[in-house]
Amino acid sequence: MSRFDKDWVRRNGVYVALVLLLLVNIVLTDNFLSAGTLRLQLIQVAPVLLVALGMALVIGTEGIDLSVGAVMAIAAALVPLYIGYGTVVALLISVAAGAVTGLLAGVLVAKVGVQPIIATLGIMVAGRGLANVFGGEIKSIRDQGMVELGSGDVLGIPYVVLIAAVVAGLAYFLVRRSTYGRQLVAIGGNKRAAELAGLPVKRVLITTYVLCGLLAALAGVLMAARSQASDPTKLGLLVELSAITAVVIGGTPLSGGQVRIAGTIAGALLMQLITATLIFHDIPDSTAQVVQAVIVVAAVYVQLGRKTARKKKVTT
């Protein structure tokens, strides 16, 4: 495959694949275009999209965050503990816990100098254990406010979908229109050059991990609200794989320096549609995970050509 072909596939392949899979389902899947089916798909993809948006920001800095699933579990486990103080209080404490976890990851990466994959791997293991300490076992959430958050809607649009759409819009503004977004992209492209240019590298890195933790916690709260229960053992399990896949196939390179919000949205929708398609046709969910892994490898292969070409250009 030529470099031009790889660049075109990297930029547009996710949109082409999404359209093709939609057409396949329209033809082969019964009632695919029904309002109930489409609504369910959007509700299911919303939490993954929130995690993927945070992951896209982190990957844009040439980092990665493996702790997002554990952060989701921690946030969900805290909801039953504090729901007695009111829905808003429980939500704020749960989301704040995600921000604190992100702060820890950011400090380890930016100030201590730990590799992102190592720092967030440690937090992932410790975080899952912490979620079990907080939650212990599956707990029901019967608070009316949480039930409304998980199953209610505005003009037919579910709250969880509306929240994900608003966050996606804010993420697009942050990346494309704000000083923070420009600094993030510059740091991901060349951290050393960004330091020499006087950019606040450590502050931007810490802010990015805090945002990622905050969005993961929000996703965990929404999943708990939707299922009306918190399960610290299973909630958020392997979501990091789905998030990284959505980001990578959406065109954000693992080498950093770019963040593609629209591509990440399309990537999350594509991953959800792949899983749904397999379920529609009675193929086990475990097969969907294998498909995701294959897609990640293929997307990384397409990106390797671009990274190699960029290195050659720098050294010549």
- Write the burial class of residue 301 (CB in 10 Å: 0-12 exposed, 13-18 middle, 19+ buried): exposed
- The pLDDT of residue 23 is 93
Give the global pTM. 0.91
What is the rounded CA–CA span in Å between residue 245 and residue 61? 17
Q: Is residue 22 part of a domain?
A: no
Evaluate if residue 145 carries a pLDDT over 50: yes
Q: Is residue 233 part of a domain?
A: yes
The mean pLDDT value for 183-202 works out to 94
Evaluate if residue 316 carries a pLDDT over 50: no
The mean pLDDT value for 82-108 works out to 96
- The pLDDT of residue 231 is 87
The mean pLDDT value for 218-238 works out to 91
What is the rounded CA–CA span in Å between residue 246 and residue 243? 5
- Confidence category of residue 310, pLDDT binned at 50, 70, 90: low
- The pLDDT of residue 246 is 92
Q: Is residue 13 part of a domain?
A: no
Q: Is residue 97 part of a domain?
A: yes
> Using an 8 Å Cβ cutoff, are 232 and 73 in contact?
yes
Evaluate if residue 276 carries a pLDDT over 60: yes
Domain count, the chain: 1
Q: Is residue 37 part of a domain?
A: yes
- The pLDDT of residue 297 is 76
- The pLDDT of residue 21 is 87
The mean pLDDT value for 237-266 works out to 91
Concatenated DSSP letters for the chain? --HHHHHHHHHHHHHHHHHHHHHHHHHHSTTTTSHHHHHHHHHHHHHHHHHHHHHHHHHHTT---TTHHHHHHHHHHHHHHHGGG-HHHHHHHHHHHHHHHHHHHHHIIIII---HHHHHHHHHHHHHHHHHHHH-S-EE---HHHHHHHH-EETTEEHHHHHHHHHHHHHHHHHHHSHHHHHHHHHHH-HHHHHHTT--HHHHHHHHHHHHHHHHHHHHHHHHHHHTEE-TTTTTTTHHHHHHHHHHHTT--TT-S---HHHHHHHHHHHHHHHHHHHHTT--HHHHHHHHHHHHHHHHHHHHHHHHHHHHHHH-
- The pLDDT of residue 120 is 96
Evaluate if residue 292 carries a pLDDT over 90: no
Q: What CATH number does the domain containing 231 carry? A: 1.10.3470
Q: Is residue 11 part of a domain?
A: no
Q: Is residue 295 part of a domain?
A: yes
Q: Is residue 314 part of a domain?
A: no
What are the beta bridge partners of residue 280? none
- The pLDDT of residue 314 is 42
- Confidence category of residue 281, pLDDT binned at 50, 70, 90: confident
117-144 per-position pLDDT tens digit: 999 999 999 999 999 888 777 888 889 9
207-220 per-position pLDDT tens digit: 999 999 999 999 99
The mean pLDDT value for 234-261 works out to 90
18-68 per-position pLDDT tens digit: 998 899 999 988 888 899 999 999 999 999 999 999 999 999 999 999 999
User: 52: domain range?
Assistant: 32-308
- Confidence category of residue 315, pLDDT binned at 50, 70, 90: very low
